[in-house]
């Protein structure tokens, strides 16, 4: 008696393979949004003393940092379900011995984009301003490095992007992740930017376009550096430090700076995407 075994279609196989990725994305956005939007009734700060240096960390900042780190923790838990995925994540995290040019490229790229944007803003709105401080850049870089950049890159590049690129081409994978990444950031922007209703939607749209572009940039650097997570963590920390120092220099022109950064970032992303002809 012959028994016919019905084979699953490629579409069904792909859906089963990616189901845990969709669950991960849903859990990450729900967890981070809950932390960020949870009302903080008690005001105050945490005080950390290191070698005579005292650091004052407001409770609101602690809450924002926890929301940033949650997806990385969830990604580690999900990757632990699959030995191959966990092995890939750990090897990517340990892959720091790559050509130094990639670390240099990451820092120069992030600083270059925001310095170009600052120059464009000052050309359009000439005004006296303090120059971005290299020391301030270094301080923000070092303070953020072990938190948002590390845990976000474990989630978005080492886990989510790797899953997507296993089934889709690189550019669509980066675009999809960028759209998700932008939506994931919206509550954080609402909490930190104190947007007026009249310009809030415009700012969120421009910020989202900017982040989608940077998702393509991050994916390019991740893939071209042999999927070295330390390089992308360096890029992420440089992005945060450069944007923070440049935005602090022109607090009266944040709207213009966000607009220019979106345009410049899209141009950079399009250029890097055109260089990447490899397919999955």
pLDDT in tens, 12-67: 657 766 899 999 999 999 999 999 999 887 777 776 665 566 667 788 888 999 99
Across the chain, what does the average pLDDT equal?
89
| pLDDT of 257 | 93
pLDDT, one tens digit per residue, over 126-184 is 878 778 888 889 999 999 999 999 999 999 999 999 999 999 999 999 999 999 999 99
| pLDDT of 5 | 40
Comparison of pLDDT for 100 and 191, the residue scoring more: 100
| pLDDT of 97 | 94
| pLDDT of 3 | 44
Comparison of pLDDT for 268 and 192, the residue scoring more: 268
Residue ranges covered by each domain of the chain: 10-275
Helix (H) or strand (E) holding 56: strand 53-58
Which long-range contacts link 99-108 to residues 24+ away (Cβ below 8 Å)? Answer: 102/221, 102/224, 102/225, 102/228, 102/231, 103/231, 103/234, 105/221, 106/221, 106/231, 106/232, 106/234, 106/235, 106/238, 107/234, 107/235, 107/238
User: Is residue 1 predicted with pLDDT exceeding 50?
Assistant: no
DSSP 9-51: PHHHHHHHHHHHHHHHHHHHHHHHHHHHHS------EEEEEET
Comparison of pLDDT for 50 and 187, the residue scoring more: 187
Which long-range contacts link 127-131 to residues 24+ away (Cβ below 8 Å)? Answer: 127/250, 127/252, 127/253, 129/249, 129/250, 130/248, 130/249, 131/249
Question: pTM value?
Answer: 0.91
pLDDT, one tens digit per residue, over 206-226 is 999 999 999 999 999 999 999
Q: Distance between CA atoms of 219 and 232, rounded to whole angstroms?
A: 9
Q: Where are the alpha helices (DSSP H) in 56-196?
A: 59-79, 83-93, 100-124, 134-144, 148-153, 162-165, 170-193
User: Is residue 256 predicted with pLDDT exceeding 50?
Assistant: yes
User: Is residue 121 predicted with pLDDT exceeding 60?
Assistant: yes
Comparison of pLDDT for 145 and 10, the residue scoring more: 145
Q: Distance from CA of residue 112 to its chain's centroid?
A: 18
Question: What percent of the chain is predicted at pLDDT more than 90?
Answer: 68
Question: What percent of the chain is predicted at pLDDT more than 70?
Answer: 90
């Amino acid at each position: 008696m012959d028994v016919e075994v019905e084979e699953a279609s490629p579409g069904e196989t792909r859906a089963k393979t990616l189901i845990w990725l969709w669950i991960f994305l849903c859990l990450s956005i729900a967890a981070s949004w809950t932390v960020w939007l949870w009302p903080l009734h008690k005001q105050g700060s945490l005080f950390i003393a290191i070698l005579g240096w005292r650091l004052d960390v407001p409770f609101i900042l602690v809450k924002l940092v926890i929301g940033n780190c949650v997806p990385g923790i969830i990604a580690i838990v999900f990757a632990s379900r699959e030995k191959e995925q966990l092995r890939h994540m750990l090897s990517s995290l340990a892959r720091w011995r790559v050509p130094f040019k990639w670390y240099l490229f990451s820092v120069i790229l992030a600083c270059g984009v925001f310095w170009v944007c600052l120059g464009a803003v000052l050309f359009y709105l000439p005004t006296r301003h303090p120059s971005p401080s290299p020391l301030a850049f270094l301080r923000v870089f070092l303070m953020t490095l072990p938190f948002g950049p590390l845990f976000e890159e474990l989630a978005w590049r080492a886990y989510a992007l790797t899953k997507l690129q296993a089934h889709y081409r690189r550019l669509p994978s980066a675009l999809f992740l960028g759209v998700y990444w932008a939506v994931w950031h919206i509550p954080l922007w609402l909490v930190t930017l104190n947007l007026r209703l009249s310009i809030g939607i415009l700012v969120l749209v421009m910020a989202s376009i900017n982040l989608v572009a940077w998702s393509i940039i991050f994916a390019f650097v991740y893939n071209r550096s042999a999927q070295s997570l330390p390089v992308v963590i360096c890029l992420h920390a440089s992005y945060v430090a450069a944007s923070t120092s440049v935005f602090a220099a022109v607090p009266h022109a944040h709207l213009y700076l966000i607009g220019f950064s979106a345009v410049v970032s899209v141009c950079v992303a399009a250029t890097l995407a055109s260089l990447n002809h490899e397919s999955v």
